[in-house]
Amino acid sequence: MRVEPSAAPIFDPGLKVSFNPARFAFQYGPDTFGPEPEYRRLDDIRPSLRDPGCTGPDPVYAIAMDVGRVQDANELRRRLLLFGVVAFAAGTLGDEPVRSQGHVHAVSPHCGLSTPELFEVWEGRAIVYAQESVGERPGRCIAVEAGPGEQVVVPPGWAHSVINANPGARMVFGAWCDRQYGFAYDAIRAHGGLAWFPVVRGTRIDWERNLAYHDSQLVRRRPRDYSELAILASIPVYVQFVRDPESVQWVSEPARYADLWSRFEP
């Protein structure tokens, strides 16, 4: 995977949210709601890094959960859907690109299942890495590199991390989540991270296996079509909700596709 130049296409997510680099925070339009961001500091994610003692940007990334149009607020709560926006700093964490620490979605109280997540890149380039299991055998391991407007789905129960694919620029993405989300970190931290580490080598991002897991194979790919979920790659994911709220309801009700998830891949 090549590290791209810092210039990136402009993508309109259909939601009046912008990132203010001076404050490392989000700004919301007059008809848009959203919180002050939470920050993930370098010390927060060290247990999952290839080099826990490394240096790098701090904060590493900013997270604003529960963002949307004011007129959609009641419907989002009723459907137990949550839209989040995340901005990653430029730079590296030792020899890794800036990334999240990795987690599994905990079982949601309202549906009794781990829930999926629908990602959409807004600015820069991202890699969504996902592995089937956090046990000794990680199962399928897949890294999907996406640019502005491209979408990636992580299925229920898969451990995953988001990576800034271009250390020379910030990266911003939006994501549909379950409103009663929770993150499980312990199994990943017990292995010192996920099964594969992204490593910056010159103008490339390569991958090194985490020897705390049994051997596995990494598949690298570009975003695919998710027609089995009725997701339209040509329409921003928040706009899809506005036009048809049922179109993303599977995010908080994964049982709607119970027969699909066992064979599903990002």
Q: What is the DSSP letter of 264?
A: -
Whole-number Å distance between alpha carbons of 159 and 129: 8
Whole-number Å distance between alpha carbons of 225 and 152: 9
Average pLDDT, the chain: 95
Q: Considering the chain, what percentage of its residues have pLDDT values greater than 90?
A: 95
- What is the average pLDDT across 201-227? 96
- Predicted TM-score (pTM) of the model is 0.95
pLDDT in tens, 30-57: 999 999 999 999 999 999 999 999 999 9
- What is the average pLDDT across 203-212? 96
pLDDT in tens, 148-200: 999 999 999 999 999 999 999 999 999 999 999 999 999 999 999 999 999 99
pLDDT in tens, 96-144: 999 999 999 999 999 999 999 999 999 999 999 999 999 999 999 999 9
What is the DSSP secondary-structure string of 25-62? EEEE-TTEE-PPPEEE-HHHHGGGSSSTT----SS-EE
Q: What is the pLDDT of residue 10?
A: 79
Contact 96/49 with Cβ under 8 angstroms? Answer: yes
Sorted by where each starts, the structural domains of the chain and their CATH numbers stand as 17-263 (2.60.120.10)
